[in-house]
Amino acid sequence: MSELNGNIVTCRTILRKYTDQDREAFALLFTDKEVNFYMGGEHCETPEDAYNLFDKCFEIYAGKFPERYFEIWAVEFKNKIIGHAELKQTNNTTCNELEVVYLLDKNYQGKGFMTEILKELNEYAKRSGKQMIATVNPENEKSVRVLVKTGIEKEGWVTEGKEKFYKIWIK
pLDDT in tens, 113-143: 999 999 999 999 999 999 999 999 889 999 9
Structural domains of the chain, count? 1
The answer as to whether 59 is a domain residue is: yes
Domain span at residue 59?
A: 8-170
C-alpha distances in Å from residue 104, one per residue of 24, 45, 91, 158 = 15, 18, 24, 24
The answer as to whether 53 is a domain residue is: yes
* pLDDT one-digit tens code per residue, 15-57: 999 999 999 999 999 999 999 998 877 789 999 999 999 999 9
Q: What is the pLDDT of residue 1?
A: 40
Query: Which amino acid makes up residue 45?
Result: E
What would the DSSP string read from start to end of 125-141? HHHTT-EEEEEE-TT-H
The answer as to whether 162 is a domain residue is: yes
Between 3 and 112, the more confident residue is 112
Going by C-beta distance under 8 Å and a sequence separation of 6 or more, which residues neighbour residue 116?
10, 11, 12, 13
Which is nearest to 29 in space by CA: 54, 56, 60? 54
C-alpha distances in Å from residue 11, one per residue of 1, 106, 115 = 22, 20, 11
CATH number of the domain encompassing residue 152: 3.40.630.30
Cα–Cα distance measured from residue 13 to residue 80, given in angstroms and rounded to the nearest whole number: 10
The answer as to whether 3 is a domain residue is: no
The answer as to whether 1 is a domain residue is: no
pTM of the predicted protein model: 0.93
What count of Cα atoms within 13 Å lies in the side-chain half-sphere of residue 79?
Answer: 0
